[in-house]
Structure 1
């Protein structure tokens, strides 16, 4: 069991960090929400009678028995392509089309956005000058020409474009949705890290954000809730800005370790 006996409820619009040491189950938690991993079947797959967004102990018990729900909809009833179309995710390892595919195809593989929207998304993550120097949106892209930091910025630009396309089409209600981030700032310098924090805050203000990060500066700057995992179990939850000030908390221990590195 990679994840064991986890019961959590996130309110709509929450900014949640998933933290823990290597091997604690952080990335597996993200894979579970995308159904790249599936939980073992519960005792009852029916939709809970209570509202799972309320955060009560009774609702948490329902979730534990029945699996994973988004807005009372059990994820196992949603086919995987639809689920991954509705949830915006930025993986730890950036994904690109084979060499020769254009910048535009990599940014907007489903050809859902116009040229201005594509350019604006790249400007937001400060990659537009780089793309211009290499011939513009229609020029061929080789992923090897991008640094690790640029690859992660490009992935974030792709997520921004998806959000804006959804908003323009009226698909995301009042600007709400779900964004999953898996170590998106692991290969960038501190200045770029801070710029990414600002972009995430501004672009996804109404979204529920679930973020795996070992950079606890980003957690403190962008998240209102932290969940600390250890060996696949939840060992602590709370407000990161409060936990970091309390001696003996797991989050503070991680914070102190990070400061020494």
Structure 2
């Protein structure tokens, strides 16, 4: 399924090692979270496996494969657009994740797309210590549709619009990709007025509890405060679907604990984990 998006086995300088062996090594490390140098010898040289993962993360190949899998699932009617939930995951960063050089990473070749370099490398300090945060949107089938990686201390509400902007499921028959869910569900952290205006502008129904401070301010203003926001408890119960998606992602040790120094490599690691959840279903 993803072979058309992978680089050709024969490149400049000689033949590449078989994609199947290398990707099996990437998946093994994703599941176990071991250092790259400790990869079993049956996957070949660890440097080859790591370099392949770095290249595919840098040029956006993993994202292309994920979108292709999502497009096939949508064509078969296996994506539940009736309710999409948003939430975030805090991933503890290992001490080896610090110390990246403050310069843009080298592009694999001239034809590759630029890498998504961040000056902060999506690392920050929060209550959990040295952390990164994954903001994601998952569909009703408990599979991630899109995600954004930020430093651990960044709030959830400001990232909701960016996460929804990352949802782009291509249509194999042609036309614009699917970008808008029918209904959105989130906890009270996403209940800002800015988010609600954005959802109303895009005509997306939503079930988000009203924060206590907003409710108190509205009641204090009386009739000028406007009507209370609608809230459906039965729909809100389905928010557990995104919790199960989070549990599925954190089942991969390389996602639960971040070891990568570069944000774009960790982005590729999370993308491979999301791709694995889609292929399992």
* Smaller-chain TM-score bracket: under 0.3
Structure having the higher Rg:
2
TM-score (norm 1): 0.27
TM-score (norm 2): 0.26
Which one has more relative contact order, counting CA pairs under 8 Å at least 6 apart? 1
